[in-house]
Structure formats: C-alpha cells, structure tokens
Structure 1
Amino acid sequence: MQVDPRGQRFAAALTSVVLIVALVTQSWVPLAAQTLVFAIAVLLGLRFSPYGLIFKVLVRPRIAPPRELEAQAPPRFAQGVGLVFALAGTVGSVLGITWLGIGATALALAAAFLNAAFGFCLGCETYLLLRRITVKSHSDREVPA
C-alpha cells in the first residue's frame, strides 16, 4: 500500500502538539492518548490511524493530489518506534519515574518535530537502514553454487 507523505507530516505535526502538551502539563493523559494513536497505526495500518482519518477527511480534499506516494512500511515502522517511546513515557509518568516520562516523551517529540517541520522521518530512515543491513547480511551468507 502507498501513502501520501503529506499525511505523515500532518500526523507528525499533530503528534508534536500532543507531546508538547504532555510535557508542558506534565500529564500522562495526552501521552496515553498519543500512545493509543500510535498503537492503532501500527496494529491496524496508517489508513485507520485517527490522524490519518482526519487528514483524509479534512485536509486531503482541499489540496492538490500528491506528486508521489511512498510505501507504507517505513512510516508504519516509525509509528512503532513512536509507540515504544510514548509507551515508555506513559509508564514513566504514571509510575512517577520522572526522568523516563520526560526523556522518552522528549525523544518522541524530537522525532515527530523533525518530520513535521523538515520532512525528515527518523523512524523511516531507521527502517531503511535496517532493511539494507539485513538484506546485505542475508546476501553475504549465500554460498555460490
């Protein structure tokens, strides 16, 4: 499946706002909500993500068609990475482990902001790097006939 990269940047912008609210208010509630958004995207796919649905209904009809689409796998992997950090931040906040709550949330915010502001998806780049490494390591193991 292919996705509109503008939708990913839109989702990253909303994610950034939610994570900023979580950090400023020191509340685990918006962080838990963001964790759920990440989980939906990972488990059900980007088209069912709440932010993806908002983009599809409210934004996409008002803008020109995308010049290009991208594969869903890298941004879905990035959502999984976001899920791990948001979950760690939520657990840290709920359990009163302040350094974990703030640290994990700040790292998730940094990655989301990079995508929202500059179109640089850190999780996507990590996915592609891991794919190159695993493909190369598998091809290195092949024995010529």
Structure 2
Amino acid sequence: MTATTTTAPTAASDSGLTYVDPRAPRFGQAITATVLTAGVVLAEPLFIYAIAAILGMALLSGWRLDLYGFSWRTVMIPLVGPPERREPAAPHRFAKLMGAGFTVLASALLLAGVPLAAYLLAGMVAVLAGVAATTGLCIGCRMYQQVSFFRRLGVV
C-alpha cells in the first residue's frame, strides 16, 4: 500500500511515515467481515482459509502483495475518486496483523480438528472487522495507539 501515483494514490510517504486513504481499510474490513461471517454461518473452512491467506500474504510480503489494497487501487478508486484526506497506515497495518494472526490461528484449529474454537475466533474477527467497517471504530487501531503510548513511556 505504498504505491504513489499522480491520479489516485492510496498511500504516500512523508517523513518516513506511510499514509493511507481511510476508506481503503474499511473496504478490506467489509470483505473480511462478510467472508468470515459466511464461513462461520455455513461452517465452511475454505472461507476462513482464504481470509487467513489474504491477510497473511499481505503481512509476509511487507504489504506489497495486499489483495485488498490492490483491489482498492484498481477497482474502487476509479469508482469513488481519490481521497480527500489521508491517515497514518501503521494503526491499520497493526489491526490487519491482528486479524491475520487470529485467522491463521483459526485455520490451524480447523486443521487440528477443533472447529468450535476455530469458528469462535473467526466469528470474533468477523464482528470486529464488521464494526470497524461500518462505524470506523477499529479495535486493532486502538490497540496500536495503546502500545505506542506504552512504548513512549518506555514500558515496552
């Protein structure tokens, strides 16, 4: 999500910080919530595996292979136009890291034969992603701010 173009950028670098179109994370959160909810309701592990793969691939590639970011830039920006403002990408990336961790854990639990725990974890991620997508209240982003606060105090 560090691509910068003159027509419709979704992120830009300034003073070492990366900024993102605030609509882009909500787009990804809406997809995550929808697919995970379908996976939990239908008891379909492939949906959980797919989200774990999408989030994990973005994380492991250093955000270069972010299917949500690519979709936002190539499909949605031409439809909705460039952003009016930007915000730091780090809190959203931390939230995506948390989502990736929990969906990968849910996938591992499914493969280990513990579907109840797996679907509970996937359902939790779906609810949090849905809340973030619809209200803008991103719990992972809030957690990032708290960790940053403690880091500034020298606690962590």
TM normalised by structure 2 equals 0.82
* Equivalent position of 1:142 in the other structure: none
- Distance in 2 (CA, whole Å) between partners of 1:100 and 1:90 is 10
Residue 37 in structure 1 maps to residue 61 in structure 2:
no
1:20-31 maps to which residues of 2 (within 5 A)? 20-31=37-48
- Distance in 2 (CA, whole Å) between partners of 1:16 and 1:94 is 21
Match of 2:78 among 46, 50, 61: 61
* Structure 2: runs of 5 or more not aligned: 1-17
* Equivalent position of 1:2 in the other structure: 19
* Offset at residue 47 of structure 1 (A): 5.5
* Structure 1: runs of 5 or more not aligned: 139-145
Query: Could you tell me which amino acid in structure 1 is paired with residue 141 of structure 2?
Result: C
* Offset at residue 60 of structure 1 (A): 0.8
Q: Are the aligned partners of 2:99 and 2:125 in contact in 1 as well (CA < 8 Å)?
A: yes
1:111-126 maps to which residues of 2 (within 5 A)? 111-126=128-143
1:1-145 maps to which residues of 2 (within 5 A)? 1-46=18-63, 48-137=65-154
Query: Could you tell me which amino acid in structure 1 is paired with residue 121 of structure 2?
Result: A
Bigger CA radius of gyration: 1
* Offset at residue 120 of structure 1 (A): 1.3
Percent identity over paired residues? 27
Once the two structures are superposed, residues 66-109 of structure 1 have per-residue CA deviations (whole angstroms, 9 ceiling, x without a partner) of 12111121111111100111012111222221231111101111
Cα distance 1:98–1:110, how it changes in 2: closer, same or farther (>3 A)?
Answer: same
Once the two structures are superposed, residues 34-89 of structure 1 have per-residue CA deviations (whole angstroms, 9 ceiling, x without a partner) of 00111122223445311111111111112232121111211111111001110121
TM normalised by structure 1 equals 0.88
**Which structure has greater helix proportion?**
1
- Distance in 2 (CA, whole Å) between partners of 1:77 and 1:65 is 24
The count of corresponding residues between Structure 1 and Structure 2 is 139
SS at match of 2:81: coil
* Equivalent position of 2:14 in the other structure: none
* Offset at residue 137 of structure 1 (A): 2.6
* Offset at residue 114 of structure 1 (A): 1.1
- Distance in 1 (CA, whole Å) between partners of 2:142 and 2:62 is 19
